[in-house]
Amino acid sequence: MKNRNLFSLFQGILFISFVLICLILFVIFHYSDIFLWIILVFSVAELVISIIFDRKWWSFYSIQFIGLTAGLLYYGVFSSIHVINLIKSFCVTIGAAWFLCFGIFIIRWKKTIWWALIPGGVFLGAFTAFHLHRIEYPDLVLFIGIGLGLSLLIWGIGAKFFGLLIAGSILLTSAPGISAQWGGKLHENTLAQTGTMLIWFGLGWIIIAISSRVIYDKFIWWPLIPGGVFEIVGIGLFLSGNQNFAGGVLSNSTLMNILLFGAYILFLRMNFKK
């Protein structure tokens, strides 16, 4: 066991030293992309060896180097020389590398490393923002927050962990809410922006109640309480900031009341049957 650990340590030092030397030569001397191709081929070979000889974490490190070098190659071959393109290349390749690591661990070792979805979702969310040329603070919060929220939500549903489901649902809808509040692109009125943000927050709590059915044999109803409060306050602020829109909503309030009363009767009947 001790010899095996020493061999793994020696293998790791040799691998990292080789990669660093190639990167230093590439950056300092501006050699051709042959160094990056060497690193990529070496990383793929290391990944194959790790899978064959049951070295879990060396496959993990190899995948990350694959993502790093693939990002540099993508930047050099397909993109113009610009910092934004470099960041975008790194985000898409490293994000994909994390998802590849997640899939390989499931297929080869029957082990689900749910946490790998978090950096994968964050990097791909950042890639989406840079790809759409929306790199202001509210836009980064929007796309990165959605990527992180989806990752936590999938983790919570897959691992049947209600706490992660709550965090993922709140993050998933808080990101559009914060973007609407500080982005200032949907509505110029401050009340309308705040109302939109609260409506998004309330939607997150509603998603918690709906997705809880996947984990449990019944719905968890208590998230509808804070969700309903956020929705009511948010709608009120939104209508206060959009008086023209409020007139149309109030004119159709009778129909809305009938629909709400019908939903109440339906839930009441379901409770009686139980």
Contact between 125 and 151 under an 8 Å Cβ cutoff? The reply is: no
Residue 91 and residue 93: Cα distance in Å, rounded?
A: 6
Long-range contacts of 127-133 (CB under 8 A, 24+ apart): 127/88, 127/91, 127/92, 127/95, 130/84, 130/87, 130/88, 130/91, 131/88, 131/92, 133/84
Over 60: is that where the pLDDT of 251 sits?
no
Residue 101 and residue 168: Cα distance in Å, rounded?
A: 21
More confident residue, 10 or 213: 213
Residue 220 and residue 208: Cα distance in Å, rounded?
A: 8
Residue 241 and residue 226: Cα distance in Å, rounded?
A: 22
By percentage, how much of the chain surpasses pLDDT 70?
59
Over 60: is that where the pLDDT of 255 sits?
no
Q: What average pLDDT does the chain have?
A: 75
The full DSSP string for 114-128 is GGGHHHHHHHHHHHH
CA nearest neighbour of 105 among 66, 59, 46: 59
Read off the pLDDT of each residue in 83-91 and give the average, rounded to a whole number.
Answer: 76
| pLDDT, tens digit (0-9, with 9 covering 90-100), for 161-187 | 999 999 999 999 999 888 877 765 555
| pLDDT, tens digit (0-9, with 9 covering 90-100), for 94-132 | 888 889 889 888 888 788 889 999 999 999 999 998 888
Contact between 201 and 177 under an 8 Å Cβ cutoff? The reply is: yes
pLDDT of residue 58: 61
pLDDT of residue 216: 84
Provide the whole-model pTM. 0.73
Contact between 183 and 196 under an 8 Å Cβ cutoff? The reply is: no
Q: Rounded to the nearest 5 degrees, what angle is found at the Cα of 225, between the Cα atoms of 219 and 228? A: 110
Over 60: is that where the pLDDT of 4 sits?
no
Read off the pLDDT of each residue in 185-211 and give the average, rounded to a whole number.
Answer: 81
Helices then strands (H, E): number in the chain? 11, 0
Between the CA of residue 196 and those of 115, 201, 238, 242, what are the distances in Å?
31, 9, 6, 11
Over 90: is that where the pLDDT of 154 sits?
yes
pLDDT of residue 32: 55
Amino acid at 226: P
Contact between 164 and 152 under an 8 Å Cβ cutoff? The reply is: yes
Could you give the 3-state DSSP secondary structure of residue 260?
A: helix
